[in-house]
Amino acid sequence: MSTLRIVGGRPLRGRIDVEGNKNAALPLIAACLLTDEPCTLHNVPRIRDVQAMLDLLRGLGAEVSGADTTDVTICCATLASDQPDPQLVGRLRGSVLVFGPLLARQGRVKLAPPGGDFPTRRTIDTHVQALTALGARELPAEGSGHAFEAPKGGLIGASFYLDEASVTATEAALLAAAAAEGVTEIRHAACEPHVVELCRFLRAMGVALEGEGTPQIRVQGTRTRRGATHTLRGDYIEAGSWAVLGAVTGGDVEIAGAEPDDLEPITSVMQRMRVDCRVDDDGVLHVARSSCVAIRRLVTGLWPGFPSDMVSLITVLATQAEGRTLIHDWMYELRLFALEQLSGMRADLFLCDPHRIVVTGRTPLRGRDLDSRDLRSGMALIAAALAAEGESRVAPLETVERGYARLVERLTSIGAQVQRES
């Protein structure tokens, strides 16, 4: 495991180009299992979660080329197993996305307990609801894993309402519905841009569907799915992360590659905090040195609300904003706990409960050793360390590299004084 040593107190300046959306890449890679023809994905992010997903497909028998680049070709002509590698599954929340494709191709699937951030607190009940609605039968499984078997004639289209508008549950339902016989109607579907990307990729594979970007998606499944090519949209969460790093250090940064419409839920909040940020005619996000102010209350929401993935970073920004901000993340109950470490950096925080935190700023931060317990709070702690006076160490760095490519190299390119240590 690695540690990132950071000498803070330096404004960041320069340009960052973001790669493809992590949350789109994983379902698109899983979708390649639906066909025996080659599929090519462009602008794939070079991050640990993507590498783990590609390794998982290789273990099932897929041929993968370009795995270390942004252009990846996957061919699942033959599959050798219906049970993904339990070790890889244990590292990756997105492993649940193979349920539908493996049921379609192999008739059954056995999956160990999925990992990722907060694995014991994030259930797959809604995923199971969708699969069983399409005719899959849940089988006894060892421990807390899951096993399913498709009906004799394959999955069957159905109409159902998801218990929650979960992104991965919606994607799992779409992947299964694409291979089901007949029409499937998914109600209370997630509307995030990466769900829309999956729908468009499935359409390129020959699956007829409509309603992407709305809470109701209609899918006409097909038994014959062809290979397809797709270029991923830029990762707006990554772009928002770099924007906060620029703002919290009093720097001037440009972030290119994300779509302005995808960025709006983030930039609108930063503008309310009086961060000087704007998107130019070329779609480049500019963040300039600013004097931030508190915004009283910020609540996360389903798309197009403020994304939960940004709540840790905006909390750090709030420590450098004049006044008091209540931040309420109703979606995940452990994300804010990791930020208690900011108190040891002199931040003025009050954790009301697992979902709400009150931040009073502006408080100068000082460096210290920090624990990156999950992907997004890990990046937030790096932001705090960059803003702080003195030296900090953030570990394990690998947790953050699950979602941010070439992190040390890119931080250095915009003036951060950082060093990777074993």
Spatial separation of the C-alpha atoms in residues 308 and 320, rounded to whole Å: 20
Pairing relationship of beta strands 252-256 and 285-288 according to DSSP bridges: antiparallel
From residue 400, alpha-carbon distances to 49, 187, 332 in Å are 10, 34, 18
Overall size of the chain counted in residues? 422
Cis peptide upstream of residue 304 (ω within 30 degrees of 0)? yes
**Residue in 205, 201, 154 with CA at minimum distance from that of residue 180:** 154
CA dihedral 317, 319, 323, 329 (to 10 degrees): 70
- The CA distance from 179 to 32, in Å, is 12
Query: DSSP state, 114?
Result: P
Burial (0-12, 13-18, 19+ Cβ within 10 Å), 66: middle
**14: β partners:** 253
Residue 224's φ and ψ, nearest 5 degrees, are: -115, 115
| Phi and psi torsions of 26, nearest 5° | -65, -50
Per the annotation, the verdict on 262 as an active-site residue is no
Closest CA to 184 of 152, 218, 155, 212: 218
Residue 363: count of CB within 10 angstroms of its CB: 16
What is the rounded distance in angstroms from the CA atom of residue 16 to the CA atom of residue 201? 27
Angle 15-16-19 from CA coordinates, rounded to 5°: 155
Phi, psi of 275 (to 5 degrees): -80, 130
Angle at CA 229, nearest 5°, toward 228 and 234?
A: 135
The active-site residue, picked from 49, 117, 235, 329, is: 117
Residue 318 contacts residue 327 (beta carbons within 8 Å): yes
- Active-site residues, by number, are 117
